Structure 1
Amino acid sequence: MARSQAHRALPAELLASAEWQEACRGRNFARIFRLVKSKAGIYPSRIAALCGMTPSRVGEIMAGRRCLAHIDVIERVADGLRIPGALLGLAHRPWEIPAPARAEERQPEPLAAVPDEPQYTEPAEELDDLLALVDGRATHSTLTALRSSVQDYWRRDNAHGGATLRPAVVGHLRYAGRLLDSAEGGLRHDLQGIAAELARLSGWAYFDARQYSTARTYFTQALKLAHAHGDRLFMANVLSCMSLLATYDGNPNDAVTLACRAQDAARAAGEQPLVMSMLHLREAFAHATLRDAQACHQSVGRSRDQYERSGGNEAEAPSWVHYFDETKLLVDTGIAYARLGEPARAEPLITEGLRRENADQRRGRAFHAYWLASAQLQLGKLDEACTSAGLALDLTAAIDSPRVSGHVRELHRRMVPYAREAPVLAFEQRMRDTLG
């Protein structure tokens, strides 16, 4: 749910009150929401609109039947209600720091809606539309070039992060959409598949930039294009991305449902054990976020069984799942255990995964180093946790991934109880130098 309009600052007397500051320190959002209602006159429906939630979810939080734990949702509440980041143990929020007086480049806007039969229209005066009038018909060479671009985008996403890829990927998606208008027969069918992949890649780039609503729009578009293409396996792939998005967006129950639906779609497409192995692990992530240990372990076991059935054989699997090899299985299993709160199981798996990974997989390695540091911090291994956090920080500095840098900032917040320890002080200084 998008925030409908900007929200004025909370009353100064509320921000200064001991009751408010105590609620913020404890991240007691039931109390925070009640104070916002009684002291600032902001009612639950408005809180929901400002924070990108449903009114029923806000009501459950206020009644104490639900809590907020995921950093992305907490940051969204801080931004929506204009709660200074320091009160919630967060870094300064972007709106707390005056922006420089300069014109900013506008990012291409996503399509406003996703119709049943995708329509792609742009202002006719744009240069690329004018050129499309001249050479806007798809050929086999066009499809080959588009497939090559998709592969290059994924390589660059893994090496450098997806945030800066958004204008280029969305531009290619729109170009593919215009070609669909005149393509026929086999060319149209193949072009639908490429457009679906570009829409998924667009969604992933916005997900990596932590712009979840826009990411969801593009994933939905990818799902519709894959359906028109008749590719149920790719539909399962998109649903698995939407499951991970729901996990990050604080909706783990939805994440479980989407992962299971993805498995159903994959089964309907035929036996693909490597795909099923990946999908079961996505389900494990969602169960771990819910702290459902039994369901998480069952999903991990099914993932391992399916991987053994596949024999690690990529030849018969679709290209988009080739990344899911034994090393990825190992490290993702460790991440599931870390999410679940079982750091002793997680640490050796993630450590081994990091040892095996290629050095050029910077975004993945930064993400995995964060989870290793998180597990080590849970185990009380402060020196090791700071060393792993330093690796994550160094890798984050070389990529553009707000999702990963957000994880590093969250890790720093969790180190607050050890703020006077030398390893933490050293890490904080490196973090200031690197991230500001």
Structure 2
Amino acid sequence: MTRPEDHRALPPELLASAEWREACRSRDFARVFRLVKIKAGIYPSRIAALCGMTPSRVGEIMAGRRALAHIDVIERVADGLRIPGAMLGLAHRPWEIPVPARTEEGLPEPVPPVSEQSQHTDPAKDLDSLLALVDAPVTRSTLTALHSSVEDYWRRDNSHGGATLRPAVVGHLRYVGQLLDSAESGLRHDLQAIAAELARLSGWAYFDARQYSTARTYFTQALKLSHGHGDRLFMANVLSCMSLLATYDGNPNDAVTLACRAQDAARGAGDQPLVMSMLHLREAFAHAVLRDARSCHQAVDRSRDQYERSRGREAEAPSWVRYFDETKLLVDTGIAYARLGEAARAEPLIAEGLRREKADQQRGRAFHAYWLASTQLQQGKLNQACTSAELALNLTTAIDSPRVSGHVQELHRRMLPYAGEAPVLAFEQRMRDSLG
């Protein structure tokens, strides 16, 4: 039986959403499980463990091939996923009985995001704070070491995914916050910049783990920190991350607004064509999700023009944007077209970008292999799509990125109309072997 400590509460915003309530009211567990995966980052294998089912059964339910009717199984799902009984037409579950300090009824206690404000509740963190008081004073060598740690985190994120980096990065952010309290005024500006970078990296790690609400919290913290020390370019960087997050979280209009606001911030910092090139493509992604072909193509054209202006000036660009090279421009342009539905135009761009990418860029290559398979599937190229999907799957098993593995599983669902075809059967077997 699932114990109360086995699983935290589902996000309050999920429990409050109309889509969730309707899925629970109608006991549409295919939709319930999909929402739990997308909005809470709980994947089918974990759903199976929490609810006392096999992964294959959960997969069949999500695919619509099986339904749940027995009340004891429905109660197991309610208990395992912490779904309030009333939402499923059940009696209140034992774990819903409120403790005296609670003032809300019917909803599980929300789990707050990790933040500095929660330090006093954890004795280990209190001890860290006390020990920080007797640490050696902050020096330029301290800043050099912190910069090196941030660079190492980004390398590891690029190679292996960001999900497992979260505890280390958030802990490092908390530590830098403690240093800020005691640092000399001459070093506070640089420390604040490092804190902003660590907050952005924390947001990115949660974004890669598909925990979008927590990611937004850290991106907001990064934006405030960069505003505090007047770095408009870094503010543009954070706003671009928030734009991408909004695109994934189903808010493409917000994504367009954030991308354009990032461009305004970058313009205020001077002539930075490489930064502007990256930001115009973020805008293109959002327009593509909105199916606004004209605006998408215009943003892509502006991105290319700015990239041409940046040639020979890469050293002038901030270090955080130098990843955006010709290969990245090529493949991101292809992804924008793919999001727009222009598969034939997107496929050669993504294929060429994937061919150029370095072998150690595993998360990026897995992501781009997924998009290549997606464009091939849109065109009915089933054999090629399955080959590209298998490449994406092979790379996904070597990294920890729920965002990418979610894409691969989404691709599998889109292959269901071809479920009896030999390439799809082979791919499904490979998925079972790799992901359970």
Change (3 A) 1:286 1:6: closer
Letter of the 1:423 partner, please give it.
Answer: P
Could you tell me how far apart the structure 1 residues matched to 2:275 and 2:287 are? 19
SS at match of 2:271: coil
| TM-score, length of structure 2 as denominator length | 0.78
Kindly indicate whether the alpha-carbon contact (under 8 Å) linking 1:312 and 1:326 is maintained by their aligned counterparts in 2.
no
Letter of the 1:365 partner, please give it.
Answer: R
Unaligned residue ranges in structure 1 (runs of 5+): 8-28, 41-46, 53-70, 100-106, 114-118
Residue 55 of structure 1 corresponds to none
Q: Does 1:204 align with 2:212?
A: no
Kindly indicate whether the alpha-carbon contact (under 8 Å) linking 2:160 and 2:363 is maintained by their aligned counterparts in 1.
yes
Offset at 1:137?
2.9
Deviations 1:220-242 (A, max 9, x none): 00000000111000000000000
Kindly indicate whether the alpha-carbon contact (under 8 Å) linking 1:376 and 1:384 is maintained by their aligned counterparts in 2.
yes
Change (3 A) 1:130 1:73: closer
Q: Does 1:362 align with 2:366?
A: no
Change (3 A) 1:232 1:313: same
1:134-173 → structure 2 map (5 Å cutoff): 134-135=134-135, 137-173=137-173
Offset at 1:183?
1.4
Kindly indicate whether the alpha-carbon contact (under 8 Å) linking 1:72 and 1:248 is maintained by their aligned counterparts in 2.
no
Residue 297 of structure 1 corresponds to 297
Q: Does 1:110 align with 2:110?
A: no
Residue 373 of structure 1 corresponds to 373
Residue 224 of structure 2 corresponds to 224
Residue 105 of structure 2 corresponds to none
Letter of the 1:89 partner, please give it.
Answer: A
SS at match of 2:429: helix
Kindly indicate whether the alpha-carbon contact (under 8 Å) linking 2:335 and 2:346 is maintained by their aligned counterparts in 1.
yes
| TM-score, length of structure 1 as denominator length | 0.78
Deviations 1:20-73 (A, max 9, x none): xxxxxxxxx999976866x68xxxxxx9xxx79xxxxxxxxxxxxxxxxxx946
Change (3 A) 1:385 1:321: same
SS at match of 1:141: helix
Unaligned residue ranges in structure 2 (runs of 5+): 1-9, 52-57, 67-75, 81-110
Change (3 A) 1:34 1:110: closer
Change (3 A) 1:247 1:312: farther
SS at match of 1:262: helix
Could you tell me how far apart the structure 2 residues matched to 1:172 and 1:429 are? 41
Could you tell me how far apart the structure 2 residues matched to 1:259 and 1:201 are? 19
Could you tell me how far apart the structure 2 residues matched to 1:175 and 1:75 are? 27
Could you tell me how far apart the structure 2 residues matched to 1:74 and 1:178 are? 31
Offset at 1:182?
1.1
Residue 63 of structure 2 corresponds to 89
Residue 12 of structure 2 corresponds to 4
Could you tell me how far apart the structure 2 residues matched to 1:258 and 1:5 are? 22
Deviations 1:70-90 (A, max 9, x none): x946989x99xx9x7645538
Change (3 A) 1:121 1:328: farther
Change (3 A) 1:337 1:35: closer
Kindly indicate whether the alpha-carbon contact (under 8 Å) linking 2:239 and 2:262 is maintained by their aligned counterparts in 1.
yes
Kindly indicate whether the alpha-carbon contact (under 8 Å) linking 2:40 and 2:211 is maintained by their aligned counterparts in 1.
no
Change (3 A) 1:236 1:90: farther
Residue 192 of structure 1 corresponds to 192
Aligned length in residues: 373
